[in-house]
Amino acid sequence: MTRQIVVGGGEAVPPPSWPRQPASILRTADEALDAADKIASLAARDAVKRDREDLFPGAELDAFSASGLWGITVPAEWGGADLSYTATGRVIVTIAAVDSSLAQLAQNHLATIAAIRSAATEEQKADLFPLVLEGRRFGNAFSERGTKNVSDLRTSLVPAGDDVVLNGIKYYCTGALAADLIQIVAIDQNGLSQLAIADRNSPGLTVFNDWTAFGQRGTGSGKVLIEDVRVPVSRVIPVWKSYVPEKPFPDSAISQFIQAAIDAGIAQGALRETEQFIRTRTRPWVDSGLEKATEDPYLIQIIGSLHVRLSAALALLDNAGRIIDAAIRDPTPATVSQAQIAVAKAKILTTELAIDAADRLFELAGTAATDRSLGLDRYWRNARTHTLHDPVRWKYAIIGEYYLNDHLPPLHPWS
């Protein structure tokens, strides 16, 4: 990004500059985790300032994508590290613990890599994967408003010779503000979902900076207006194929897995802040007779409980990552459903823990922690906003149906 963007200004935003700093090529999980630690340290420096002043993390995003972390799931046969999803999840947790908006900016990018892997032709992979490895970023244009439900999409895709023409309007477009390529989900004339990869500077494609949510401010997840946008047929991916019941791919599990990792990171960051505040500022309760808040047995019990649940959440994420990897190697209805169920378990716990840990921060730290200059409320606002992506009450139902009635989870991006 070449200029500082204040999120929510409402204006149309031009594409980011290119070329930028070339992206590194990471090869191992250790390299990826080391890079994640460095990006987390960079993001932590001004995290409170960015949240308080509604600043888009442009410099941090450029460093994040240049680190090579946005290419770690590209298959090895196309030059990528093809890292496990266990390692990928740990990368996302590390960054989300200091800036969950920055972590979420990579979510749809990584999900698009999964879609290319599962549904694109070999020619499309040869076109798109090298772009990812050189540092190009995907931005989302998926969700819509005013329809019957989240899967009822109205954006159209009509053949026009060697191109297709798209029309529609998208909302909650995470990553689009600073993307080089916009992945647009549209419905073709047969009612099938297609993923059209449009250049960010395509005529008729306008990205608006109008994100006004109280949390995840740094994602800049505004709307995208699509007016007679032309995309070459060669960049239209039949993503519906990933959700065919007889031959599915674990794309939905991958998308949900990254969302769960973001929530785990929020919980981890909130818990760290809680402990630091208690050690340095929280006073013992008047009736305790204690010298320090860190000696309070009730407080100690709650901190211990949060750590137990965080360890369980991280273990569920690791396990889900392993099961996703197995489903990628051998995609069948059974292995894909196993991945979905494993991710659903993790998603339930990370959702509930992120909200609880962010709330407990204030209960345990005390009134002084509500000082706006500290920016500690960002954890709760981010947790509450991000966990609205899909309701965990339906995750419980999916898991119960799977074990009690042998019903496989529904095949769509929210399960």
Q: What is the pLDDT of residue 216?
A: 98
Give the CA distances from residue 162 to residues 53, 154, 235, 236, 262, in Å, rounded to whole numbers and listed in that order: 45, 23, 10, 11, 39
Handedness of CA 168, 255, 392, 408 (dihedral sign): positive
Q: What is the pLDDT of residue 131?
A: 98
Name the residue among 252, 223, 227 with its Cα closest to residue 239: 252
Separation CA 124–CA 250 (nearest Å): 20
Q: One digit per residue, pLDDT tens: the chain, 415 residues?
A: 546 899 999 999 999 999 999 999 999 999 999 999 999 999 999 999 999 999 999 999 999 999 999 999 999 999 999 999 999 999 999 999 999 999 999 999 999 999 999 999 999 999 999 999 999 999 999 999 999 999 999 999 999 999 999 999 999 999 999 999 999 999 999 999 999 999 999 999 999 999 999 999 999 999 999 999 999 999 999 999 999 999 999 999 999 999 999 999 999 999 999 999 999 999 999 999 999 999 999 999 999 999 999 999 999 999 999 999 999 999 999 999 999 999 999 999 999 999 999 999 999 999 999 999 999 999 999 999 999 999 999 999 999 999 999 999 999 988 8
Q: How remote is the C-alpha of 52 from its chain's centroid?
A: 22
Name the residue among 225, 218, 133, 136 with its Cα closest to residue 179: 136
Domains of the chain by residue range: 12-137, 156-240, 251-405
Tell me the CATH class for 156-240.
Answer: mainly beta
Q: Which residues pair with 208 in a beta bridge?
A: 12
Contacts of 173 (CB under 8 A, 6+ apart): 139, 140, 141, 142, 143, 182, 207, 221, 222, 223, 224
Q: What is the pLDDT of residue 96?
A: 98
Separation CA 177–CA 211 (nearest Å): 10
Q: What is the pLDDT of residue 177?
A: 97
Phi and psi torsions of 13, nearest 5°: -115, 130
Name the residue among 88, 87, 78 with its Cα closest to residue 132: 78
Separation CA 376–CA 367 (nearest Å): 12
Q: What is the pLDDT of residue 338?
A: 98
Protein fold of 12-137:
Butyryl-Coa Dehydrogenase, subunit A; domain 1 (1.10.540)
Q: What is the pLDDT of residue 329?
A: 98
CATH number of 251-405: 1.20.140.10
> Hey, is 360 helix, strand or coil?
helix
Q: What is the pLDDT of residue 415?
A: 86
